[in-house]
Structure 1
Amino acid sequence: MRRLLVLAPALVLLAGCHPSSPAKETPSSSAPASSASASAGLPPDPQPVRTAECPYLSNETVQDANGQHVTKVSVSDDEPHPACFFYRPDGSLQLTVRVYVGKSDVATALVNKAAPVDTSNPASDPAGWKGGYQPSGDGVVYAVAKGDAAVIVTSNQKQSIKARTVAKKAIAALKL
């Protein structure tokens, strides 16, 4: 019954969707956004809006973990923790870190959107955090949630340990 009540607004929104208005894809999206998840109250995927330092991860931390030099960092307008977008010397995106703090069901849904339970490998690092990791495009996504918080890292590297290391560093820096 509770699931029906949660899904009812999504079904109403889906009924009004028109095929000529596709969902907007973003650089930090590790999986295509479904209309159902977007209408179920998930915040939109973050967008890089300005060049700035990441408030919770240094360039050196990302360089050491991901194995590539960072030449530019952009951040989103998300509050209280902006998403951070780290770029390589050739200008391409190498790593994105998205932090969500709010409702626990939304945190879990964001992780499931990035690394669906049905298709991803289970992730439980750091201790107490749960989620998944899986290949994503030319790289990997590592997504975990704990309580009302979620951390989603996408990397252009195929080794999940690199994204996991960045996630752990972000969680430690933010004291989540």
Structure 2
Amino acid sequence: MRRLVLLAPAVVLLAGCGPTLVAGTATPSSPSASAGTTAGSELPPDPQPAATEDCPYLDSEFVADSNGQHVSKVRISADQPHPACFFYRPDGKVQLTVRVYVGDAKTATALVNKAAPVDSSNPASDPSGWKGGYESTDDGAVYAVAKGSAAVIATTNQKQSVKARTVVKKAIAALKL
């Protein structure tokens, strides 16, 4: 109680210094909000496969050659105009996923940092002008880069990040980002 009494004059003094006094309580940030995003903004949800269709910006044969596994099926998310593409191997498991985001520059950077955190990943700058990271994971590897308001992220079940990088570069070229 004594601490409150001592702080009360300081609070009154400080309240008079600001142009406005806002009453209310602070709302804690959502647990789903990612670090590195702007206050009050959240990242878009991770894409989910919604339809069995060819990827509009990557050919299955190219993915099979790049990732080193036969592609048995391709599914895409409902995201438009650039759906995420999910490439499956013959046993029905996903071997490679490519996500394309075009929108807000801060969100693009935050998506890349979520996929390849600055603290743990290696810096990536390929293709020229794109920035992000790459790293091996328990399940494979990730290569994620952003440029302006665009981000492209590839995850592979292979440990070599060069496979994901090859796919990201092809997606960027195909989409003319």
Aligned to 1:43: 44
How is 1:97-112 mapped onto 2 (pairs within 5 angstroms)? 97-112=98-113
- Using the size of structure 1 for normalisation, the TM-score is 0.80
How is 1:27-176 mapped onto 2 (pairs within 5 angstroms)? 35-37=32-34, 40-176=41-177
CA distance in 1 between counterparts of 2:53 and 2:95 reads: 16
| Deviation of the 1:154 alpha carbon | 0.2
| Deviation of the 1:143 alpha carbon | 0.2
Preserved CA contact (<8 Å) 2:33 2:43: no
| Deviation of the 1:35 alpha carbon | 2.2
Q: Unaligned regions of 5+ residues in structure 2, if any? A: 1-25
Secondary structure in 2 matching 1:69: coil
| Deviation of the 1:135 alpha carbon | 1.6
Aligned residue pair count: 148
Aligned to 2:4: none
CA distance in 2 between counterparts of 1:13 and 1:157 reads: 39
Q: CA RMSD in A?
A: 1.5
What percentage of aligned pairs have identical amino acids? 72
CA distance in 2 between counterparts of 1:41 and 1:148 reads: 16
| Deviation of the 1:13 alpha carbon | 5.6
- Using the size of structure 2 for normalisation, the TM-score is 0.80
CA distance in 1 between counterparts of 2:172 and 2:27 reads: 36
CA distance in 2 between counterparts of 1:103 and 1:41 reads: 12
> Residue 75 of structure 2 aligns to which amino acid in structure 1?
S
CA distance in 1 between counterparts of 2:68 and 2:98 reads: 16
Q: Unaligned regions of 5+ residues in structure 1, if any? A: 1-10, 18-33
Aligned pair partner of 1:12 in 13, 27, 36: 27
CA distance in 1 between counterparts of 2:129 and 2:64 reads: 26
